[in-house]
Amino acid sequence: IVLTQSPGTLSLSPGERATLSCRASQSVSSSYLAWYQQKPGQAPRLLIYGASSRATGTPDRFSGSGSGTDFTLTISRLEPEDFAVYYCQQYASSPTFGQGTKVEIK
């Protein structure tokens, strides 16, 4: 299953809302869709699993939604520490990751 993320880069200011998209090449059960945040020099960190459940320690400004082939990660109000690269990942079959969306400071 191929995951395509858009946009490639999102330029926003602190306090703004970020909407990241992940589209799957075939239907994925919501149970098997996760989102990760990665900062330079660090390992990815699990933010959302099961499409909409926040992992332990994930702030509530992060929310996930979607089903079938279209999934969304929303950051309601960007904090300075949220500027990073975000990846979606599916586990319906052999695990795959999207190519990532970079959220950068405008």
Partner 1 sequence: QVTLKESGPALVQPTQTLTLTCTLSGLSLTSSGVRLSWIRQPPGKAPEWLARIGWDDDKFYSKSLKTRLTISKDTSKNQVVLTMTNVDPVDTATYYCARDDRLTDAFDVWGQGTIVTVSS
Q: Tell me which residues touch partner 1 (CB under 8 A).
A: 31-32, 34, 36, 43-46, 49-50, 53, 55, 87, 89, 91, 94-100
Output DSSP code: residue 82: G
The DSSP result for 18-77, as a single string, is EEEEEEEEEEE-GGGEEEEEE-TTS--EEEEETTTEEPTT--TTEEEEEEEEEEEEEESS
Q: Which is nearer to partner 1, 69 or 96 (CB)?
A: 96
Q: Which is nearer to partner 1, 13 or 60 (CB)?
A: 60
For residues 88 and 95, the answer to whether their CB atoms sit within 8 Å is no
Q: Which is nearer to partner 1, 48 or 78 (CB)?
A: 48
Q: How far is the CB of 29 from partner 1 (least distance, A)?
A: 9
Q: How far is the CB of 59 from partner 1 (least distance, A)?
A: 17
Euclidean distance between the first and the last CA atom of the chain, given in angstroms as a whole number = 33
Q: How far is the CB of 86 from partner 1 (least distance, A)?
A: 11
